[in-house]
Structure 1
Amino acid sequence: MASKEDIRSSRRLYRRSLSKEQLAQAGESIARHGLAWARKISAGSPRTFAVYVGVSHEPPTMPLIAGLHDAGHQVLLPVCEAGRQLSWVYWTPETAFVRSDYAPIDEPEGERLDSAVVSAVAGIFMPATAVDRDGNRIGQGGGYYDRLLQHLDNSGGRPPTIAVVYDDDVLPSGAIPAEPFDRPVPDALTPSGIITLGGGSDLD
């Protein structure tokens, strides 16, 4: 079995090979399928979703973020804090972005809310560099989201959670080594549709 770092490196190499046109097409498809997932779990009512901004060659999420807002939902975006913790800011099209103090990314400016706010959202769109069919996930290596999911799991249950990846980032069962602190995810959102992990049936 390949190590997490080997898998992470191979997926990053693949992602860097994608053209601007491929990235744009992936962003549009992810938005379409992501909005359908949001509509299903919110029963068509305006709700709040936790999302993130895909940067560089990550799956683009700004079309999804804008689509959620246009559909009447509120959007929370993460901000990296000390101790590998996350705080959250409500996003609107007028939100400005500033350079993070803790990660090589730009983050939303605004009132920062504790991660407890995420326990009340309708769903969480979370980053991943790969997932396998068992629901094991590899992030960027910082551990921010594993800590968030652990907190939610220990405090009464997390909202529905879906990892955003490219189609080729979904690996066979057993491909990702699972560690005690890892938190599996039940679904993957890809440009081709929603994949139910852990033995369920895929959704278009």
Structure 2
Amino acid sequence: MASKEEIRSSHRSRRAALTQASLETAGAGIARHGLRWASSLAGPRDGTFALYLGVGSEPPTMPLLRTLHEAGHRVLLPVCEPGLELSWVYWAPESEFVRGRYAPVQEPAGTRHGVAVMRGVDGIVLPATALDLTGNRIGQGGGYYDRFLASLAGVLSEAGTRHTTGPLPTAAVVYDDEVLPAGSIPAEPFDRSVAAALTPGGLLRLGKARGTG
């Protein structure tokens, strides 16, 4: 079995070779399938979703951000804080982005909210460089999202949580060929699996959720 770093490096190299046309096509597919997923979770009302900004050769998420906003949903984007913590800022098309202080990423400017804001969220869209059909995820290597996902259980058990039918739905965004066979990604105790892969080609249920629609 390849190590996480070997898989991450290989996929980053392939991503770097993508053309602008390929990125635009991927962004359109992610937006289309992401909106369908979000609509299935929010139902007839406007929902709230935590996402991130994909940049460079990463799967583009800006089309999805705009599509969700146009559909009436609220969007939260992360800000990296000390100690591998994330805070969250509500995003709109006019929002300003600034260079992150603690990570080399673009982050939204605005009022920051702690993890408790997730009590009002319908679903979470995560970054990844690879997924396997078991639901194991390889992120960017910083550890922010594993720590964030681990912190959710206590927050979501409190009163006022919008999503009450089970774990908060999660989907990680990758290209179609970055969804690997079950067991391809080594799982460590601190890793947190995800429920679905959101790709330009569609939404694929992972792990125990496979085959449920």
Relative to the length of structure 2, the TM-score reads: 0.92
Listed as ranges, the matches of 1:1-204 within 5 Å are 1-155=1-155, 156=157, 158-198=167-207, 200-201=210-211
Task: Write the letter of the residue equivalent to 1:12.
Answer: R
Shift of 1:195: 0.6
- Supply the distance in 1 between the matched residues of 2:44 and 2:108 (Cα, whole angstroms): 27
Residues 154-185 of structure 1 show CA distances to partners (whole Å, capped at 9, x for unaligned) of 44374211011100110001100000000001
For 2:207, what is the secondary structure of its paired residue?
Answer: coil
Task: Write the letter of the residue equivalent to 2:79.
Answer: V
Shift of 1:37: 0.2
- Unmatched segments (≥5 aa) in structure 2: 158-165
Shift of 1:202: 7.9
Q: Which moved more, 1:157-166 or 1:8-17?
A: 157-166
How many residues get paired?
A: 203
Task: Write the letter of the residue equivalent to 1:182.
Answer: D
| Structure 1 segments of 4+ aligned residues over 2 angstroms from their partners | 153-158
For 1:49, what is the secondary structure of its paired residue?
Answer: strand
Task: Write the letter of the residue equivalent to 2:47.
Answer: R
Residues 130-170 of structure 1 show CA distances to partners (whole Å, capped at 9, x for unaligned) of 00000000000111110111001344374211011100110
- Unmatched segments (≥5 aa) in structure 1: none
Among the aligned pairs, what percent are the same residue?
Answer: 60
Q: Which moved more, 1:127-136 or 1:158-167?
A: 158-167
Does structure 2 conserve the Cα–Cα contact (< 8 Å) formed by 1:149 and 1:158? no
- Supply the distance in 1 between the matched residues of 2:177 and 2:10 (Cα, whole angstroms): 11
Relative to the length of structure 1, the TM-score reads: 0.96
